[in-house]
Amino acid sequence: MTNLNIEETKYTPKINLDFEKGIVSIAGKSYPENTFEFYEPVMKWLEEYFDGNAQETTTINFEIIYFNSSSSKLFFDLFDLLEENNEKNTIIINWIYDEENESALEAGEDFQEDFETLTINLISK
């Protein structure tokens, strides 16, 4: 299994999927022209990772400044995938937001409510 790194653009986040460390980071803005195509390699990577390649603890760091509605749906699907693997793995999700960005906080709270079995930490910076 290899790591996957995607550089940040004006409308897509910086993505680092580190298999050795078990750390997934998604940081920046997210409003791709075709959201599902853009995130397809990320979802594929995660599926492969949890298919017998996962580290003891997996940390997911989300730091999204703002996003479009299809990204919102995509993140929902991503949380769904994490929830499916939550029983057999230790998964820690950090939803990182700027303390002045109430909208980003609210988005994190929504995910907490929708995925009660997942450990989602809301972290202001």
Partner 1 sequence: MNISEIQHLVERDGIIFLSYGGFLSQAIISAMTEALEKEADANDIGMGISSNMFTIFIELSQNMMNYSKSKDPNCHEITPEGLILVSKDAEDNYYIQSQNIVELKDKDKIEPKLEEIQSLDNDGLKKRYRELRRSGQNTHGQGGGIGFYEIAKRCDSIEYKFSEITKNKYYFHIKTKININKKEK
Using CB under 8 A, list all residues that contact partner 1: 10-11, 31-33, 36, 65-70, 72-73, 76-77, 98, 100-105, 110, 113-114
Which residue number, 57 or 103, has a Cβ lying nearer to partner 1?
Answer: 103
Which residue number, 54 or 82, has a Cβ lying nearer to partner 1?
Answer: 82
∠ CA 66-123-34, nearest 5°, is 25
> For residue 122, what are the contacts with CB-CB under 8 A and spacing of at least 6?
95, 97, 105, 108, 109, 112
∠ CA 100-106-112, nearest 5°, is 130
∠ CA 123-54-40, nearest 5°, is 75
Which residue number, 23 or 43, has a Cβ lying nearer to partner 1?
Answer: 43
Which residue number, 11 or 19, has a Cβ lying nearer to partner 1?
Answer: 11
- Taking the complex as a whole, the smallest distance from the CB of residue 99 to partner 1 amounts, in Å, to 9
- Taking the complex as a whole, the smallest distance from the CB of residue 50 to partner 1 amounts, in Å, to 21
- Taking the complex as a whole, the smallest distance from the CB of residue 103 to partner 1 amounts, in Å, to 4
- Taking the complex as a whole, the smallest distance from the CB of residue 20 to partner 1 amounts, in Å, to 33
Amino acid 24 reads V
CB 27 within 8 A of CB 64: yes
Amino acid 115 reads F
